[in-house]
Amino acid sequence: MKQTWARVVELEAEFWPEVQEEAGMRIPPSTHTSTNVRPSGHYLRTLALVSLVGIGAYAAGAIAPHPVFSFIAPRPAPGPPANPDSPESLAYAASLEEALQSLPLLNTLRNQPDADEWYEVRPYKRFPEERRVNNLTAGALRGPGKLALIPLVRSKYDESEAIAFIHVGRGLCGHDGIIHGGLLATLLDEGLARTAINNLPDKIGVTANLAMNYRAPTFADQFIVLKVRLLDQNGRKSKVAGRVEDLKGNVLVEASATFVQPKYANMLSNSVVKQAMGEPEPKGAPVLLSEGVPPPAKKS
Per-residue model confidence (pLDDT) at position 295: 47
Please report whether residue 75 resides in a domain: no
Per-residue model confidence (pLDDT) at position 277: 72
Q: Compute the average pLDDT of residues 121-138.
A: 84
Contact (Cβ atoms closer than 8 angstroms) between residue 163 and residue 115 = no
Q: Give the residue numbers spanning the domain of 162.
A: 87-277
172 pLDDT exceeds 90? yes
The 10 Å Cβ neighbour count of residue 225 is 20
CATH number at residue 244: 3.10.129.10
pLDDT tens across 64-119, in order? 665 555 555 555 555 666 677 788 888 888 999 999 999 999 999 999 999 999 99
Please report whether residue 82 resides in a domain: no
Per-residue model confidence (pLDDT) at position 287: 40
Please report whether residue 41 resides in a domain: no
Q: Compute the average pLDDT of residues 4-11.
A: 54
DSSP 21-87: HHHT--PPPPS---PPPPPPHHHHHHHHHHHHHHHHHHHHHHHS--HHHHHHSPPP-PPPPS-TTSH
Please report whether residue 272 resides in a domain: yes
DSSP 219-249: BSSEEEEEEEEEEEEETTEEEEEEEEEETT-
292 pLDDT exceeds 50? no
User: What total number of domains does the chain contain?
Assistant: 1
Q: How confident is the model at residue 169 (pLDDT cuts 50, 70, 90)?
A: very high
Please report whether residue 125 resides in a domain: yes
Q: Is 252 helix (H, G, I), strand (E, B) or coil?
A: strand
